[in-house]
A = this chain, B = another copy of it.
Amino acid sequence: MPVASIFSTVQEDLEKVEAKLQSIADVEYPVLSALLRHILNTGGKRLRPALALLSAKFHCYDLETLIPLASALELLHTATLVHDDIIDNATTRRGASTLNTIVDGRSTILIGDYLFARSAAFAAESDNLRVMKIFARTLTKICDGELRNMLGSDDLDHTRREYYRKIESKTAALFVAAVESGSVLSNAPENEIQALVSYGHSVGTAFQIVDDILDFVGDERKMGKPVGSDLRQGTVTLPAIYLLESRPNDVELRRLMRHHGDFPDREEGIKRLIETIANSSAIASARNEALDFVQQAKKALFVLPDNKYRRALADLADYVIERSS
């Protein structure tokens, strides 16, 4: 099912989120305004705002606080991408030039900070202390994960545990924040909030595994970035972990995967490795693991009343694994 149909029940509210997001580009300086619009318009599918909106639908909520919250989540996501792209030296994202290729690093840092700030200000408009705490906790988790990613050991034997810790802070935390704060703002009972937290965690995890699979087998045009970016940066994701597990004694493979390794002609080796993984059972194994998370996510929803919003959340879980970009 295309994502637009899944979101149809919250389409009107998503348009309000879009307008709220675009409002941050109404600034005094035309250059800054253009840059902010560029970042906002190369944005993704607004999954996180949609999750917050859908999660609020089971009880009563005030749109005046829900729209800023949903917008805050997307801005927080965008801010982390802006800083990630400087840090990773990425040149394209979703087919468009990254901010750091358009302006200098100094401006990119500041614009990222500005997005963080506006995101916090939007979250404060939710007028809800628990939501503000969720927001602060999530921001800490994301930054903590980034630091772990940069400073963590290169030890491939701990990779699977490290991989799931990284997913938790990089992706799942923000999915959880979306569903948790959406349901908190609708004054949902605690058991429903916790069911959605569990859903958000599983869907977020599945989403990132699929992202990592697509980095090997995705269509470069649809993805808007070259395949194999992760391995090239020394990031070992689930498909690569499966390959490593199937070849426990392959010393060459281990040397190649280490970012700071001394493998001769690394780029050639990486290219071969990407092909090897793409054509191996590692992809199917990783996809099965993602599917498990999708099943868990859908199971968590049983606590909620069976209505079109619950069905949309279940469809979204399916979409996460079916998507091709």
**What residues make up the interface of A, taking CB atoms closer than 8 Å to B?**
27-29, 31-32, 83, 86-87, 105-107, 109-114, 116-118, 120-121, 123-124, 127-129, 132-133, 135-137, 139-140, 142-144, 146-148, 150-152
Contacts and interface: CB of A to CB of B under 8 A. Distances in A.
Contacts of A137: 121, 124
The oligomer's copy count stands at: 2
A137 to B, nearest CB: 7
Nearest to A153: B29
A322 B275 CA distance: 69
21 contacts: A27-B147, A29-B151, A32-B147, A83-B109, A105-B105, A109-B109, A110-B143, A110-B146, A110-B150, A111-B147, A113-B116, A114-B140, A114-B144, A116-B116, A117-B136, A117-B140, A118-B140, A120-B120, A124-B137, A128-B129, A129-B129
Contact of A124 (B31, B113, B132): B132
A108 to B, nearest CB: 9
B116 A147 contact: no
A234 to B, nearest CB: 13
Given A87-B106, A132-B129, A120 B147 contact: no
B114 A86 contact: no
Contacts of A87: 106, 109-110
A123 B111 CA distance: 23
Given A117-B139, A120-B139, A136-B123, A107 B29 contact: no
A137 B106 CA distance: 23
A129 B132 CA distance: 8
A296 B311 CA distance: 62
A106 to B, nearest CB: 4
B111 A140 contact: no
A124 B133 contact: yes
A135 B139 CA distance: 15
Nearest to A79: B113
Contacts of A123: 136
Contacts of A152: 29
A107 B128 CA distance: 33
Nearest to A132: B132
A118 to B, nearest CB: 6
Nearest to A123: B136
B147 A135 contact: no
